[in-house]
Structure 1
């Protein structure tokens, strides 16, 4: 496969990330505060729509498998999902003036459409990359391109709303952001549909929505993905609280996050080379240990420790490259030949786990912190915050690394199809 084809596949990762981050971070404040919908009603709509978003993923995976059997079925599904996502995303962030009940309905419908279109496109995208090549290392390169562009999209999503607010002071900043996102997404979809090869068709085998979990290698990988994802989600959920109250460096939050993500993007080629030499499972285990060694020191930092925390961001960010590239590449390898027609179902479960750990981290981490006496901006519970932010994720990652080394042989199976 050529570099241009890898570029044509990977580029879509950027607008996908650009879509996801503002929905999770900015819509609560936009609707709950700025548009006057109220926090209680906004929270209820968010909770219901996110529950639907998570639970529908296995069904969307099955839809992708059904479409794969049709002529250019995945191309059609990706094109339709991208078109719906452009329209729904623009509507979500640029609502007209209306009554509160109308605004609530608008918010709920737009949010469900954004979640559904994004999930359908993402599952199809993951399955496409897993089925397009017979070469295991080529599939890993495709994952690396996808995740590298995804990190670029995260950085754009972090910077552009702030820049548009300063450049267009009399205009809703989400209007130019929606325009840039839409153009970027349509360009990326065009490249995927017309400059990247279609995968080989495979017959759909009869199985339930959670049939992939009957496969022992995938069940083990899903367990590892859940543990590792939960550790990362806990740290991600608590990061801004830790920076603001433990380090007391809230003004530098953007610098810390940018350092972390850029380090992750730069490290991707290293993990690719290491996976070829050691195998993907061992390379992932090495990345997990690097994350622990680099991150555990955050437990003992205090106010003003800017340089030590920057170094921690560099080291743990470098380990992020392994977390991004290798688990999904292993998943693509261990899908048995007879199940290649059900690849969408595998990645539907993958997506469900990914979303579930984010909800679990917020649902457990924040109440637990409150139980230890922590309140944002206050002086109590800071030790508990530091331990939950850095200590607990490192412990979970060590457990994950131990299981990974124990199961590594079953995860290095490479089926030829």
Structure 2
């Protein structure tokens, strides 16, 4: 199926506002509630763990719902309604009107609402992209436009919130108002542009009716058939989980590492901007490499690049800004492959498009599980004596450095060791 570039732009635009939400939630919110609003680190870690677990278990259900809505032409209205919910919940997260224990309850409730709305939109969006073409080139082009727009959104999110919170003329609870307004405008505009995107390639009526069955038992049977019964997809889950955990842990600790280990809080915004700018530049390069040597080989090469660059971050200390920026460039370049290639490999495991929503629901479930597990690093570091806002030296500092950089590199090595077999299975399945 030939897809016009204008249609790909209309499809890819939604990746920008969705990415604008993801980075502040997963990277900036923990530091905001602990360092700015005074929530204890262990409490914030527990809230993040529990809310991310809730977010994790809901994704397969949301995937099945997206399949059913796409088959009955109700997906676009559902996306409109969900976008309004996401805007309201995102605003509530950054403007809490309470303090003390009520702040903890507000933090948890706002996160649950943001996660639910964002997860449904993201699952439906990924599944939509998987239905746009049945060949690797079309899938890669759609993923490149989506993730390219996402990188732009991440760049805005990496610079905007941190810059706003550093301004002395804005109270911490009101600092995010301009960013929230920009996000709401871009999200509504992107939802409107979807009318010009290629349509979801719906399944035949008989299959659509089966996807719409309700109840726990039909859901389990359907997921077992479309997901667990797909060997290439099943064998990709472990390396995807290990690699996702290796990304989630430093994402949760990046602000703490820069502010307290390196001792350069004003370099948070430039570091994140450099990191994601390198990802934006690396994205088209990795797409080209993927076309030449195949998605699996390209992904393995990118993981090796990330390990070789990031392992040195564990040795950095106070004032090591320049080496850290070099690491940001190299790791950001490798991130471009993580953004574009894994969804293409997954889409290749669904040659007939059946159960795309359910499979992407499981796929995003794995990513959310990684984020939930990464929240355990916060109470762990608190137990070792690390306190946000104080210099991270001695044992607490070494623990922060190893958890931030050393542990993720070990996890990436585990991903590489388990990626060999899934790659061969995918190749054999598609021949």
Q: Identify the TM-score tier after normalising by the shorter chain.
A: 0.7 to 0.9
Q: Conserved in 2, the CA contact under 8 Å of 1:57 and 1:348?
A: yes
Tell me the equivalent position of 2:372: 359
Q: Indicate the RMSD between aligned Cα atoms, in angstroms.
A: 3.2
Summarize the alignment of residues 305-324 of structure 1 with structure 2, pairs less than 5 Å apart: 305-324=320-339
Q: CA deviation at 1:198?
A: 0.8
Distance 1:273 1:317 in 2: 17
Q: 1:380 and 2:394 equivalent?
A: yes
Do structure 1's residue 79 and structure 2's residue 80 form an aligned pair?
A: yes
Q: Counterpart of 2:213?
A: none
Structure 1 residue 319 displacement after superposition: 0.6
Q: Tell me if structure 1 keeps the 8 A contact 2:45–2:378.
A: no
- TM-aligned CA distance change 1:210 to 1:300, over 3 Å: same
1:11 CA displacement:
1.5
Task: Give the secondary structure class of the aligned counterpart of 2:394.
Answer: coil
Contact 1:18 1:156 (C-alpha < 8 Å) held by counterparts? yes
How far apart in 1 are the matches of 2:338 and 2:323?
A: 23
CA contact (8 A) 2:52 2:371 kept: no
TM-score (norm 1): 0.86
**Relative to 1, partners in 2 of residues 1:75 and 1:269: Cα closer, same or farther, differing over 3 Å?**
same
Structure 2 portions without partners, runs of 5+? 211-217
CA displacement, residues 222-244 of structure 1 (integer Å, 9 cap, x when unaligned): 11110101111222233333334
Per the alignment, residue 240 of structure 1 pairs with 255
Range with greater deviation from structure 2 (265-274 or 21-30): 21-30
Counterpart for residue 186 of structure 1 = 188
Q: Which residue of 2 aligns with 1:252?
A: 267
Counterpart in 2 of 1:391? 406
TM-score (norm: length of structure 2): 0.83
8 Å contact 1:333–1:414 — kept in the other structure?
no
1:3-152 matched pairs, under 5 angstroms: 3-24=5-26, 48-71=50-73, 73-94=74-95, 110-152=110-152
Q: Deviations for 1:264-299, whole angstroms, at most 9, x for unmatched residues?
A: 111011111111111100000011111111222223
Distance in 2 (CA, whole Å) between partners of 1:41 and 1:187 is 37
Contact 2:242 2:412 in 1 (8 A): yes
Tell me the CA shift for residue 52 of structure 1: 2.2
Distance 1:231 1:24, change over 3 A: closer
Deviation (angstroms), 1:160: 2.4
TM-superposed CA distance for 1:74, in Å, is 2.5
Superposed CA deviations along residues 71-120 of structure 1, whole A, max 9, x for unmatched, are 3x33233222223223333444456x689999887766554332222111
- Confirm whether residue 198 of structure 1 aligns to residue 212 of structure 2: no
Give 1:12 shift.
Answer: 0.9
1:218 corresponds in structure 2 to: 233
- RCO greater where, 1 or 2, for CA within 8 Å and sep 6 or more? 2
Contact 2:89–2:114, Cα closer than 8 Å, also in 1: yes
1:363-414, Cα deviation, whole Å (9 max, x unpaired): 1x34544565655524212334333332222222122123223331222367
What is the rounded CA distance, in whole Å, between the counterparts of 1:46 and 1:371 in structure 2? Answer: 17
Which residue is 1:2 aligned to? 4
CA contact (8 A) 1:65 1:341 kept: no
SS at 1:412 equivalent: helix
User: How many angstroms apart in 1 are the aligned matches of 2:251 and 2:10?
Assistant: 30
User: 1:124 Cα shift?
Assistant: 0.3
Q: Matches of 1:140 and 1:30 in 2, distance apart?
A: 36
Matching of residue 231 in structure 1 with residue 246 in structure 2: yes
Structure 1 residue aligned with 2:214: none
1:266 paired residue number: 281
Tell me, which stretches of 5 or more residues in structure 1 are unaligned?
none
Q: 1:29 to 1:390 in 2, by over 3 A?
A: closer
Give the one of 301, 304, 329 matched to 2:344.
329
Contact 1:282 1:405 in 2 (8 A): no
